[in-house]
Structure 1
Amino acid sequence: MLIAVVSDTHRRTTSIKQAIAIIGKAKPDKVIHLGDNMDDADLMEAMLGMEVITVPGNCDYSAEKDFKVIEAGHLKIFATHGHAYGVKRGLHELAKAAKDKGCHIALYGHTHIASEDSSDGILTFNPGSAAEPRGGQKPTIGFVEIRGNKTGFRFAGIDAGR
């Protein structure tokens, strides 16, 4: 199973279209947008012709819960923007929330910094920002690949005219 993960697009149409092109070529089974801005997922859905699962970020005005639990084969994924779990201070709260929901993987954004790690037995993955990266990084999206008992993460760079 292949899952595309996008975060922090911030209404940057050029970056969103670049992300769509990369995702379209990869042909994932699922697409997840981790917020800031959830409305950008509508454009992604229309252009990709498939559902884009969304969670709200701190820049979104939504009554939705700040997380979703997503079934991915035999695994459960905790998807959130991350601001409600203090991800800029560390991943402990995020990992605890994921573990409490019976999840194996926690996806988050908010920091605008691409990373993969583990915390308290939970695999954590931030695809970075497709539009406004920080820490000297380039714009990226991410992919989660689940094959049997193996889970892998990778990043795809976006050339948004920078």
Structure 2
Amino acid sequence: MARWLIVSDNHGDTDILPELTKRLRPDVTFHCGDSEMQLQDAWFQKPQTYAVRGNMDIDEAFPLVQTPTVDGCRVLLTHGHRDAVHWDLTKLKLHAEAVQAQAVFFGHTHELAVEELDGRLFLNPGSISQPRGEFRSLGGTCALVTVTPEAWHVQYYTRDCRPVTRLQFTFERPQKG
């Protein structure tokens, strides 16, 4: 069992990131872009931390996409702006198929979302600092995914690390074989 923190769109709010990792204690951290920070920042240098460049990031040292294999799972990490996630998930789904990702983490819209499509987990943690949409009143969100061989357990948290009880989901993982 592993705990993965997925965060996005902090837009220069540098204090929130260390607070999240300190209080939520993830094994692995994924940042979906628009940090407006430098890749050399100490927060990005921690082991098991993956980050990509968003449309507002200036530091070109951030990759646009990462596809690490973590805990035996291929992850597609992207900001989403190049996959037109504001319209629908069609391009992102095709991108995930092309890289054979089992989990897809993206940001850009500032609106949290999670669903399973064709055996893949698609998750947007929402913006931790500038939320939009239905859950804007929460003041910012991130997601903690507990990964087991059988399932993805997704729990959304507010920026003060409180779990949002109505935003807890479990998705079965397809079994290989």
Same fold (TM over 0.5): yes
> Identity over the aligned pairs, expressed in percent?
27
- 1:67 to partner: Cα distance: 1.0
Q: Provide the rounded CA distance (Å) in 2 between the counterparts of 1:40 and 1:9.
A: 13
Native 8 Å contact 1:6 1:32 kept in 2: yes
Deviations 1:35-80 (A, max 9, x none): 112526625347xx54531100001131654211121212111000
Native 8 Å contact 1:118 1:124 kept in 2: yes
Question: Structure 2 residue aligned with 1:31, among 29, 36, 40?
Answer: 29
Native 8 Å contact 2:54 2:64 kept in 1: yes
Question: Structure 2 residue aligned with 1:118, among 107, 111, 116?
Answer: 116
Native 8 Å contact 2:12 2:36 kept in 1: no
Aligned to 2:172: none
Residues 14-25 of structure 1 correspond to what in structure 2 (within 5 A)?
Answer: 16-17=15-16, 19-25=17-23
Q: Provide the rounded CA distance (Å) in 1 between the counterparts of 2:106 and 2:153.
A: 16
Q: CA RMSD in A?
A: 2.2
1:59 aligns with 2:56: yes
Q: Which residue identity lines up with residue 52 of structure 2 in the other structure?
A: V
Aligned to 2:43: 44
Question: Structure 1 residue aligned with 2:95, among 94, 97, 100?
Answer: 97
Q: TM-score scaled to structure 1, two decimals? A: 0.84
Aligned to 2:8: 7
Q: Provide the rounded CA distance (Å) in 2 between the counterparts of 1:45 and 1:63.
A: 12
RCO greater where, 1 or 2, for CA within 8 Å and sep 6 or more?
1
Q: Provide the rounded CA distance (Å) in 2 between the counterparts of 1:87 and 1:118.
A: 15
- 1:151 to partner: Cα distance: 1.1
Aligned to 2:75: 77
Q: Provide the rounded CA distance (Å) in 1 between the counterparts of 2:141 and 2:18.
A: 12
Q: Which runs of 5+ in 1 are unaligned?
A: none
Native 8 Å contact 2:10 2:128 kept in 1: yes
Q: How many matched pairs?
A: 155
| SS of the residue 1:100 aligns to | helix
Q: Provide the rounded CA distance (Å) in 1 between the counterparts of 2:57 and 2:97.
A: 25
Which is worse superposed, 133-142 or 73-82? 133-142
Native 8 Å contact 2:27 2:48 kept in 1: no
Q: Which runs of 5+ in 2 are unaligned?
A: 161-177
